[in-house]
Amino acid sequence: MRIDTYFTVPEVDTGTIGDATVVVIDVVRATTTIIEALANGARAIYPTDSTEEAVRLASSMGREDTLLCGERKGHKVEGFDLGNSPREFTEETVQGKKLVMSTRDGTRALNVGQEGRRLLPCAFTNLGAVAKAVAGDERLVIICAGQDDRFSLDDALCAGHLIRRLVKEVDEEPALNDSSRAVRALASARNPTREFLSLASGGAAIIEIGLGDDLVICCDIDRHEIVALMTDQAITRVEA
């Protein structure tokens, strides 16, 4: 197995990932929220790059069973049904619904990752399930969503813990690029906690706007035994 980690979306050369399984990580908060939504019965999530695209798509799908979700600068987009807080995506709210979502970084990373052979969203909340699902693949590309095209400590930590899990799942030591080696070393020294995530720029930003309780879910390792796949613009839960 070969594992290449990218710290930001612009680093990814989409022409080189066609044969790879792609894992996209946006701990604070898009992939955490996506997994929470699927765990609570959402039918599918449709990531879009822009809020305008999200509005058009939701309208074309029919608003009776479709929710518009998304944030800009951490806040819910005006006129949308939900923001990007995992605490909003309760069973009562999302069960049986289709969710059209646009976030600043995460949904863009997901759409870039579609150039791979298959794409799995990953957060701390489904870390173990993702590790098991990709352990048999020859090439893995991990895309960290980052924050405004910059390195994000929380995403790097999650990537490192994913690699540590994979090392335990495979027979031979994986080949790692430098970024993969770096995040593995980080994960060897640190575990995700609310306090640690609050040190990252993304965590600090949501604390500043009063959403710091989201970090409790964001660092909840293996909260769900869920594997999700993005196929044809839609993220759905893979049933066991």
Q: Over the stretch 17-29, which tens digit does the pLDDT of each residue have? A: 999 999 999 999 9
- With 70 as the cut, is the pLDDT of residue 44 above it? yes
- Provide the pLDDT for residue 240: 65
Report yes or no: 122 and 224 within 8 Å, Cβ to Cβ. no
CA distance 101 to 53: 10
Cis peptide before 29 (omega within 30 of 0): yes
The tens digit of pLDDT for each residue in 173-227 reads 999 999 999 999 999 999 999 999 999 999 999 999 999 999 999 999 999 999 9
Report yes or no: 124 and 32 within 8 Å, Cβ to Cβ. yes
The tens digit of pLDDT for each residue in 63-97 reads 999 999 999 999 999 999 999 999 999 999 999 99
Report yes or no: 113 and 13 within 8 Å, Cβ to Cβ. no
Q: How far is CA 240 from the centre of its chain?
A: 20
- Provide the pLDDT for residue 239: 81
Place of tokens 């540590």: 164
> What pTM does this model have?
0.97
Structural domains in the chain, CATH included, are 2-235 (3.90.1560.10)
β-pair type (118-122, 2-6): unpaired
Q: Is 151 exposed, middle or buried (0-12, 13-18, 19+ CB in 10 A)?
A: middle
Q: Give the closest residue to 143 by CA, choosing from 102, 176, 110, 166.
A: 110
